[in-house]
Chain A
Amino acid sequence: MTAANHQTCRSWHQTPSLLVLIFVALALCLYCLPTRSNPAMENCNTIVESLRSSQNWGRQALVGSLEYGPLQTLFLLLCRSLGGIIGLSAGKLYSAICQSFIIVSLLLWQKNHGRRGRGLIGAALLLAGAFFFPPLRELLSCTAASPAWLNAALFCALYYQFSQWHQEQELRWLVLCATSLALLMLCGSCGILLALGTIPVLLREISFTLNDKEKFSGLPTILLMPAGYALLLYFVWNWLVMDDAIFFLRDYWSRASSLPLAALLHLPPSSWRLGLLFLLLAALATLLSFERTCKSPARLLLPLALLLPLHFHFTQIMQVYSGGLPAYLLAVLLALLLVLNSSDYRLRQRPLQFLLSLALLYCALPIRVSTCFQSASDAPPRTELTTYIDQFWPDSRIMLYGLPLALAYPDLQEYRFQARLDYQESDFLTQARDEQLHLLVPPPEGKYYPARKSVLADIHAHGRPWLLLEKQWPGGWQLWRCVIPPEGESKLDALR
């Protein structure tokens, strides 16, 4: 990097007000674009609304689900609370803030680490194409408002901060990297995977760069402590809210462990395509990691390229939200920026890099993957359920267990539907003594609950002595009624 460049970079840092202005202007522009919320964002929004209504399942979903990380939900809640004051859409605001954060970070990265005139123009064109050119924007369905933008923004921040550390070796940048890692950890399974995958690369790069045991001393602690603490918070919060410190792991594991091996080995066409993309990305990152000037940032892309496809594949089969597409898109962008900026011009490698980049773009543009939960089309409509129940048991409440079912039948007053993430039989029976309850059990196909070794699958197959099957829909949905009458409503009360 030349002294002149360094001066320019300092001028960026010395004008935070200008950065804020650019950030706000970009966020406004992005907000005004006709963006839709993807189903994942709608689900996250449902959790936020339930939190605002002080519902227990909202609190449970905040801490007990790895699909939607606590930080994503809390950030959306913040957008909902602040945006709501001036009538802004929370989901769009959330995405606009994250996307403009990414753009500003990339601009800063380009300004500080890129070669003048090359990457900036390329990146600007690419970003303009991705965000503002409607056909391309339509193609990139993953630019829709999605909770995963926060993952991408945090990874981008991490990327920028680490590049800065690599250049200046100031402790502050490492502290910021550690903070970004910790925040990523709070972004659900995808964030945790990204953070865990990035940590070894960071540690190796730091140790390699400093090449001095004394200087390296304490840095792993500084880097790992916030991330470890974030992980610890999952356990503490689960203990406090779910009364089970490992609920979030147990829930995720029960879904994962019930998958048949054949399903894991079967690759749907979208997975093939993603796998190919990530292989290309990994190849490009590997190639770039031999370039003297960008080897460190290129290596940071490797965890993205290697771990995200596995996560995609896995979450697709588990039918849960993968939450990583924007991060993937960001990785593609970063790789392209690196290609455009790699200053050591090697004649033999350069054409290969460009060919790989073109192939990457060609595969990336038409990608559409939506692995998040969407209510099944054969799910009984809520009016049908309530009308049916009201014929015989007016005002009986329907109990729903598991996050997908809670998201499918949101009820802000919990008047007709009451959801929980954990099935506690004793609690159900206690509540049944106070009021008439029904239980809705979806078919055991792995979408709403683990197909095997789960209580709901067992109820679906065998019922319970105190449950009476009232209705079964052709798709396999079952409506059970609790036959324990509420206290004071049975002639047999005297026998209790």
Chain B
Amino acid sequence: MKLKLSGNITGDILSPRGFPQATLVLCPWQKKFLLVMLFILLGLLLWDWRSVLLGINILLTIFYLIATLHRMFIIELALRRPREIIIPPEKFSTPPNGREWPRYMVILPMYHEGEILPELIAGLQKLDYPTDRLEIRLLIEADDDETRSVAESLSMPEHFKIFLIPPSQPRTKPKACNIGIEEGEADYLVIYDAEDKPEPDQLKKAAWAFAQSPPEVACIQAKLGYYNPDWNFLTRCFTAEYATWFGLCLPGLDCLQSPIPLGGTSNHFKLDVLRQLGGWDEYNVTEDCDLGLRLFIAGWRTRILESTTWEQACPSLPFWIRQRSRWVKGYIQTYLVHTRDFWNVHRKLGFWNSLHFHLFIGGTSFSQLINPLYWFMTLAWIFLRPQGLDQFFPLPVFIMGSFCLFVGNFVFAYTSGIACVRRGVGYLAHYALLMPFYWMLMSIGAWKGFWQIISKPHHWEKTKHFANQ
């Protein structure tokens, strides 16, 4: 039987497939609310701009303080109570049920990836999993002649299948994934990117992890790392950032049993649960993050698996900024989509999970957007000592701000060093000192993403993958 995991089924523009989707950036009440807030703010600014700016500064400083303390708390949890699922290799000799390994489907959405396809196929052939229980689907856009011709010219084993995705809007990775899983039978499914190099035993580990976990665990997220950290400054810092996210932040959230914003690849799902949820939101450009939240809200849980998929860190600044802009745009989309039903989402998440949601999904992008403003103010305060700046920093605000400036920034940079050591790339730990420069690049990407959410909300900024040096 073929499911329908794309198109408009319900006729509702905000939830065309029965769950809130990012078809529109803002729902009607969000638009009205933002407009009203904007008018009130403008009115207040005209009435008493000093008090309004002071109020905004107080709110932003409190936000920074909470974000800093929250990050410290998450990191401490990740270090104190590591909860990643660790599967010892001696288990791989037998399937979890003792009879046969579960059926696994691997999907690989690709677009203009002909250059790296042979390497990808070679890498996937190393997967240690019985081939009669494995199906690997290469999801290629029907009009992507480049990738298609390379794929057809390669002699691939039987369990590799080429799936052509008919051209339709929106042209996004999640749409391809949804079409790719509309039919076929499997117990578990994993998604990899074209440049991924998963550890060969990852599927067996994930199968065992599912078997060991309680039934409500529907997703296992493997860790992501970069195989090319030494290419340049950007790849080194990117590696440190990924190590922090997958080595400390997500395990910290896992400790709290909170919703986990999934990484783009190496998400292992129970296929029936994924289909039941409607797959990925094809309009969301960080569909993985959105899906992580939807899983949690529907009562399913995600766990972190101690197994790494090696990816390629984008070594080119223009492409890196594009990728970053898509991430920030997607996080904003996800935040706005999930806050449409404002009270209901908070009721379902509960107080603490709501806090994690606001800080991790909304806060991460928001802080990247407002950071340049505070860097500018800090530099102005240090070098120019302008008259009047102090009126926006009364003593309590000054104390909180100083804490964020002198302690918070250091904590964020230092955690990158800790994460590098923890992820086995300790020789990159000293790059933590240079993270502030990397944060500036992140803010450039964030502003590009913010602009795109207004101008091109569904445009997929594709990350270019480079042939190995």
Contacts and interface: CB of A to CB of B under 8 A. Distances in A.
Nearest to A216: B426
Contacts of B406: 233
A240 B379 CA distance: 12
A240 B382 contact: yes
Interface in A176-225: 214, 216-219, 221-222, 225
Contact of A225 (B80, B382, B417, B426): B417
Interface in A217-240: 217-219, 221-222, 225-226, 229, 233, 240
B379 to A, nearest CB: 13
Contacts of B432: 221, 225
A219 B426 contact: yes
A223 to B, nearest CB: 10
Nearest to A237: B406
Contacts of A222: 417-418, 421, 429
A216 B80 CA distance: 20
Contact of B427 (A217, A226, A229, A233): A217
B422 interface: yes
Interface centre among A172, A233, A240 (most CB of B within 10 A): A172
B377 interface: no
Interface in A339-390: none
B420 A218 contact: yes
A214 B430 CA distance: 15
B421 A219 contact: yes
B392 interface: no
Contacts, number: 50
A221 B79 contact: no
B459 to A, nearest CB: 39
B421 A226 contact: no
A173 to B, nearest CB: 9
Interface residues of A, number: 16
Interface in A263-310: none
B422 A171 contact: yes
A171 B382 contact: no
Contact of B418 (A175, A214, A233): A175
A171 B414 contact: no
A221 B430 contact: yes
Interface residues of B, number: 21
Contact of B417 (A170, A216, A221): A221
A240 B417 CA distance: 28
B410 A171 contact: no
Nearest to B424: A214
A221 B416 CA distance: 11
Contacts of B420: 218
Given A172-B80, A219-B421, A240-B382, A226 B426 contact: no
Contacts of A240: 382
Interface in B410-459: 410, 414, 417-418, 420-422, 424-430, 432-433
Nearest to A217: B426
Given A225-B414, A225-B417, A218 B426 contact: yes
Contact of B414 (A217, A219, A226, A233): A226
Contacts of A217: 421, 426-427, 429
B418 A171 contact: yes
A216 B421 CA distance: 9
Contacts of A218: 417, 420-421, 425-430
A171 B414 CA distance: 13
Interface in B68-83: 76, 79-80
Nearest to A175: B418
- Most chain A CB inside 10 Å of its own CB: which residue of B420, B421, B422, B430: B421
Nearest to A224: B430
Contacts of A221: 417, 421, 426, 429-430, 432
Given A171-B79, A172-B80, A226 B428 contact: no
A217 B428 CA distance: 9
B425 to A, nearest CB: 8
Interface in B371-389: 382
A219 B426 CA distance: 7
Contacts of B425: 218
A378 to B, nearest CB: 39
B382 to A, nearest CB: 7
A222 B418 CA distance: 6
Contacts of B422: 171
Given A217-B426, A225-B433, A229-B410, A171 B421 contact: yes
Name which of A221, A222, A229 has the most chain B CB atoms within 10 A of its CB: A221
A170 B80 CA distance: 9
A241 to B, nearest CB: 12
A172 B79 contact: yes
Contact of B79 (A175, A216, A219, A225): A175
B428 to A, nearest CB: 7
A216 B427 CA distance: 9
Interface string B45-83: 000000000000000000000000000000010011000
Nearest to B410: A229
Contacts of A229: 410, 414
Contacts of B428: 218
A61 to B, nearest CB: 17
Q: Which of A170, A217, A218 has the most CB of B within 10 A?
A: A218
Q: Which of B417, B426, B427 has the most CB of A within 10 A?
A: B426
A217 B80 CA distance: 21
A171 B429 CA distance: 13
User: Which has the most chain A C-beta neighbours within 10 Å: B414, B427, B430, B433?
Assistant: B414
A219 B424 CA distance: 11
Contacts of A172: 76, 79-80
A172 B433 CA distance: 20
A214 B424 CA distance: 8
Interface string B13-36: 000000000000000000000000
A175 B421 CA distance: 11
Contacts of B80: 172
Interface string B201-231: 0000000000000000000000000000000
5 closest Cβ contacts across the A-B interface?
Answer: A218-B426, A218-B429, A217-B426, A172-B79, A221-B429
11 contacts: A170-B79, A172-B79, A175-B418, A218-B417, A218-B426, A219-B426, A221-B432, A222-B429, A226-B410, A229-B410, A229-B414
Interface of B: 76, 79-80, 382, 406, 410, 414, 417-418, 420-422, 424-430, 432-433
Given A221-B432, A225-B430, A229-B414, 10 more contacts: A170-B79, A171-B418, A214-B424, A218-B425, A218-B427, A219-B421, A221-B426, A221-B430, A225-B414, A225-B429
